[in-house]
Amino acid sequence: MIQTTESIDFGRLITGHSPFSVPKYQRAYAWDEDEVTEYLDDMERLYRDRVNSSENRMPHFFGGLVSVRRFASGTPHGYIHDVVDGQQRLATFMITICAILEGLKIIEQKATASGDAGATDDAKIEREKTETNYFFYLEGVGRQTQKRLRLSLSKADNKYFEDLMRNIGDARTKKNL
């Protein structure tokens, strides 16, 4: 039984909702080069359209995400969204944000090396803000809070995915993006 449906943008979906989990019965991440290229081409086209036309911005439909809400103590809203459909797109979106964070880390390092403190601070602030808003949420565990990833994938992919998300800026992450 469907309780509610809503249409919201991807940014609000990630930052404004409880964590997402891909249940173990869902297939492993399976997008190959064709799907990823199509996704990146869409992103590039959207970027160009937004840069070239500040007026009359048309919303873009990236596709649906179907989730089932289940109780989970300690999470920000008291529940987790189990992703039933759209997990490939959601994981690819998170990997894209990871690549953007890699770019911000490189900008930060180059600005530091060239002595540009303003650019260093700007890149660091954007990187930390994006990481906090998109990747993590705080979960109460006992009397402490722990930083948790907003998305966990199915068992086959989750360890690799967590390593990728948590190790932004190291050589392994750059190689695997």
Structure-model confidence comparison of residues 118 and 149, the more confident one: 118
Residue 1 included in any domain:
no
Whether 148 is covered by a domain: the verdict is: yes
Any domain includes 169: yes
Which secondary structure element, helix H or strand E, spans residue 139, and what is its range? strand 136-141
Whether residue 4 is contained in a domain is answered as: no
- The widest CA-to-CA distance across the chain, in whole angstroms, is 58
Check: CB of residue 89 under 8 Å from CB of residue 155.
Answer: no
Q: 25 CB contacts (<8 Å, ≥6 apart)?
A: 154
**Among 152, 157, 161, 168, CA closest to 18:** 152
Residue 53 lies in a domain: yes
Residue 3 lies in a domain: no
**In terms of residue numbers, what domain contains 156?**
10-176
pLDDT digit string, tens, across residues 144-154? 888 888 899 98
Question: What's the pTM?
Answer: 0.80
Residue 5 falls inside a structural domain:
no
pLDDT digits (tens, 9 = 90+) for 15-56: 776 789 999 888 888 999 999 999 999 889 888 888 887 666
Q: What is the tally of structural domains in the chain?
A: 1
Q: Is residue 2 part of a domain?
A: no
